[in-house]
Structure 1
Amino acid sequence: MDWKAVFEPISLSIQISITASLIVFICSITVAYKMARARFIGKSIVETILLLPLVLPPTVVGLVLLVLLGRRSWIGKAYEAIFNGPLLFTWGAAAVAAVIVAFPLAYRTMKAGFESVDDDLEDSARSIGANEWQVFRFISVPLAKRSLTSAYILGFCRGLGEFGATLMVAGNIPGKTQTIPTAIYVAAEGGNMSMAWTWAGIMILLSFVMLLLSNRITKES
């Protein structure tokens, strides 16, 4: 067995998932906190848009990203001007796909955590002179840390398992954009079941370990 060929998709998937989950965590913690406290007309519509990738087929998400990241879009043009090459079918495109599909899951989990925090505690902190950042940093985040931890790990696992959108915008280029899910698909389609099961077993093990870690952290918190 070619162990280099085995570990390339694993390494790439982990790199993409770590990058995507960090971006998702930063974005979703900000948006979730604001949405958990905000009251405005059209909030349900905004929230529906934020959660839409959670229920859409990954191929639909991939099709939308294909248009948004293409050479004719302003994003694609800006990327090409800066990096002297297209964004589609690159490592970056795979990371963007992972961010988009992982964000709704992390956002929903974090928002539930922030909504569980008693508003009176935050108001009490404000009444003694705490600013919004201090309320967020020292009251809201510590009290919602179980949800925040779960959101990060779930985002990582979701990014790790992304297939449809990644295949459409990043393709399946060995050593460049081939992740574990796309590698499994190609191996199974080509009849190489031993390689497909090797990657599938590694994917199951990684996901199991991450979820076990999440459960242990949230119980000990």
Structure 2
Amino acid sequence: MLDGLPDGLTTALSPDEWRAVALSLKVSFWATVLSLPFGVAIAYVLARQEFWGKQALNGLVHLPLILPPVVTGYLLLLTFGRKGMIGSFLDQTFGLVFAFRWTGAALAAAVMAFPLMVRAIRLAIEAVDPKLEQAAATLGASRPWVFATVTLPLILPGVIAGAILAFAKAMGEFGATITFVSNIPGQTQTLPSAIYSFLQVPGGDAKAMQLVLIAIAIALAALFLSEWVGRTVARRIAGS
């Protein structure tokens, strides 16, 4: 199946293939950055608050993990497409289009990565002793100030780990993305979509392997970065 692989691996990537790599990095970056504030807020609510419907919210957050990615992509298309309830409003009001655009790829990646981000941050929040927050509150600090000065510094390693985990998940997102924004070279073709495309044509195995190796390198780099940053921040917090 991989005949001629050594020669293929020494061939430089084409501009379209580099664009697929660059688009994946761009999509993953914005998916992570824009969803992070929501991830912290939802994680805090699930970890610290008790209210009616909490289990429903928790189930909704984790739904992308158990639904087939194609189903998630189709639901995004129905909701955020040009004729969707939210998509048509955003298009007519702000000129913001998601379907078949790179912005839609970022949205799909954010939705698929969001449960992992929330889970990592929630575990970090639950590990913080609530008495520390209560002590700050008894001194007259408001809840937002308590969170900013007490909770957030303590959970920062978890927030960073959740963000990098979400970035890595977004880099590998395929099913929801290709359903929502298709696989248009130079516009919506991400790294996984490019790999899939090469596997569908004769002789594309070597090019697919090149992209697979790039994907593995990015994933490992994200993992090592997560570990290093998390430990560095944890040491600084412990020493402060």
TM-score above 0.5, yes or no: yes
Between 1:63-72 and 1:142-151, the stretch displaced more is: 63-72
Whichever residue aligns with residue 168 of structure 1, its letter is T
Q: Once the 2 structures are TM-superposed, how far is the Cα of residue 110 of structure 1 from its aligned partner?
A: 0.6
Contact 1:58 1:164 in 2 (8 A): yes
Which of the residues 207, 214, 220 maps onto 2:219?
Answer: 207
| CA–CA separation in structure 2 for the residues paired with 1:85 and 1:49 | 25
Q: 1:198 matched to which residue of 2?
A: 210
Q: 1:23 matched to which residue of 2?
A: 34
Between 1:69-78 and 1:145-154, the stretch displaced more is: 69-78
Whichever residue aligns with residue 198 of structure 1, its letter is Q
In the alignment, structure 1 residue 13 sits paired with structure 2 residue 24: yes
Between 1:80-89 and 1:185-194, the stretch displaced more is: 80-89
Q: 1:158 matched to which residue of 2?
A: 169
Which of the residues 131, 136, 141 maps onto 2:147?
Answer: 136
Unaligned runs of 5+ in 1: none
| CA–CA separation in structure 1 for the residues paired with 2:98 and 2:23 | 17
| CA–CA separation in structure 1 for the residues paired with 2:17 and 2:104 | 22
Contact 1:10 1:180 in 2 (8 A): yes
How many residues are matched? 221
Deviation digits for residues 7-62 of structure 1 (CA, Å, limit 9, x no counterpart): 10011010010000011211100111122111123311221111111121111111
Contact 1:24 1:102 in 2 (8 A): no
Q: Once the 2 structures are TM-superposed, how far is the Cα of residue 124 of structure 1 from its aligned partner?
A: 0.2
Whichever residue aligns with residue 212 of structure 2, its letter is A
Deviation digits for residues 66-118 of structure 1 (CA, Å, limit 9, x no counterpart): 11112222222123224658531111111110111011110111111111110
Deviation digits for residues 164-210 of structure 1 (CA, Å, limit 9, x no counterpart): 00000111111100000000000011131111011110000000001
Look up the SS of the partner of 1:144 in the other structure. helix
Contact 2:90 2:96 in 1 (8 A): yes
Look up the SS of the partner of 2:20 in the other structure. helix
| CA–CA separation in structure 1 for the residues paired with 2:107 and 2:48 | 28
Identity level (%): 34
When the two chains are superposed, the root-mean-square deviation of aligned CA atoms in Å is 1.4
**Could you tell me the TM-score, scaled by structure 2's length?**
0.88
Computing the radius of gyration over CA atoms, which structure comes out larger, 1 or 2?
2
**Could you tell me the TM-score, scaled by structure 1's length?**
0.95
* Distance change (3 Å), C-alpha of 1:2 and 1:78: same
| CA–CA separation in structure 2 for the residues paired with 1:84 and 1:111 | 35
- Map 1:33-182 to 2 at 5 A: 33-82=44-93, 86-182=97-193
